Structure 1
Amino acid sequence: MTVSLKLLSKDEKHILRNLYSLYLHDLSEFTDGLNISTSGSFEFDSFELIWERDGVTPYFLKKNQVIVGFLLLLERPFLNNDYDFSINDIFMLKKFRRKGIAISLLEELFKQKKGRYFVVELAENKPAVLFWRKIYRELDIVFEEEKKIVDNEECLVQSFQI
């Protein structure tokens, strides 16, 4: 199995938009703040920011050259000086979950991008909370966690050093 992170080009943003709708659909189970649009999809209202701001980097997650998900990495100057990176969003198509792909991809990301990270999960999103705890355990990452209200939602915020 070959897994890789691939930077998106602007001409691939329509693919990311489709994947983002699936991601937001999955998240809608855990929050009342996400609803389907009149066009029949879930839309990320700040989607164009990805292409307009420095410090917002989208990656495709690939297995054997096939897109299986995406990762949205925030970095400076988008973040304050307390952190170097934030994994803002990570999404894997359901049929590729629980196969070790995400761990391999995150391990690759952490080899490329060393620094202070933070991750935010909706507290109600138990699959995401369990996912990140498994990542920390399997990659032997020591993390700090606190509960915070983010965008009127109870969240868990984890920070760690790579």
Structure 2
Amino acid sequence: MNVFLEKIGPDKKEILRNLYSLYLHDLSNYTKGLQISEDGSFEFDSFSLIWEKDGVTPYFMIVDEKLAGFVLILEAPFTTKVDKVINDFFILNPFRGKGVAKAAVSEIFAHNKGSYYISQLIKNQTAVHFWKKVYQQEGIAFVEQSEVQDGEEVVYQTFVIR
């Protein structure tokens, strides 16, 4: 299995928009804050900022030349306390449970050194367990805290990749 990250340009924004709707649909299992729009999709209200502002980098996850998901990484000016935020991380169902997510995270960390912040909705225990397993497998020492963000209970971890 060959997993790599491909930076997403504006020419492929509709593909990312479609994936975002699937991602938000999945997240709607854990929050009442996401509602389907009149056109039958879930919409990311700040989607246009991805290509309009510096500090936002989207990547497709590609597995053996097939689209497998996406990740959105934030940097300054969107974050001031850490270097990087893994803001959104999504794997399509056919690729789940096959090591794709772990391989994608390893790729992210190999090319993006620095301090990180990653949060999960507390109700999304699948995501919480995934990230803790990654930290354990990678030998990453992290600090974990909980808080309420936009009315949602989240748990987040901070750590440094050298």
CA–CA distance in 2 between the matches of 1:64 and 1:17? 22
What amino acid does structure 2 have at the position aligned with 1:4? F
The aligned counterpart of 1:113 is 112
TM-score (norm 2): 0.97
Equivalent residue, structure 2, for 1:63: 63
Corresponding residue of 1:137: 136
In the alignment, the residues of structure 2 paired with residue 104 and residue 139 of structure 1 have an alpha-carbon distance, to the nearest angstrom, of 11
Secondary structure of 1:54's aligned partner = coil
1:132-154 deviations in Å (ceiling 9; x for gaps): 11111111111110001111101
- Residue 95 (1) aligns with residue 103 (2): no
Runs of 4+ in 1 over 3 A off after TM superposition: none
Post-superposition shift, 1:101?
Answer: 1.1
What root-mean-square deviation, in Å, do the aligned CA atoms of Structure 1 and Structure 2 show? 0.7
Does residue 76 (structure 1) correspond to residue 60 (structure 2)? The answer is no
Question: Counterpart of 1:126?
Answer: 125
* Offset from partner CA, 1:27-80 (integer Å, 9 cap, x none): 000000001000000000010011111000000001011110000000123211
User: For residues 96-152 of structure 1, what are the alpha-carbon distances to aligned partners after superposition, in whole Å with 9 as ceiling and x for unaligned?
Assistant: 011111111111111111000000110111111111111111111111100011111
Unpaired runs of at least 5, structure 1: none
Partner Cα separation in structure 2 for residue 78 and residue 149 of structure 1: 19
Partner of 1:161: 160
Mapped partners of 2:131, 2:65: distance in 1: 25
Counterpart position of 1:11:
11
Letter in 1 for 2:137: E
Higher mean alpha-carbon deviation, 21-30 vs 132-141, is at 132-141
Give the C-alpha shift of residue 158 in structure 1: 0.6
2:20 paired with 1:20: yes
SS in 2 for 1:30: coil
State the secondary structure of the residue aligned to 1:62.
Answer: strand
Distance between the aligned counterparts of 1:51 and 1:108, measured in 2? 22
What is the aligned length? 161
Task: Report the Cα distance in structure 2 between the residues aligned to 1:143 and 1:98, rounded to whole angstroms.
Answer: 24
Partner of 1:36: 36
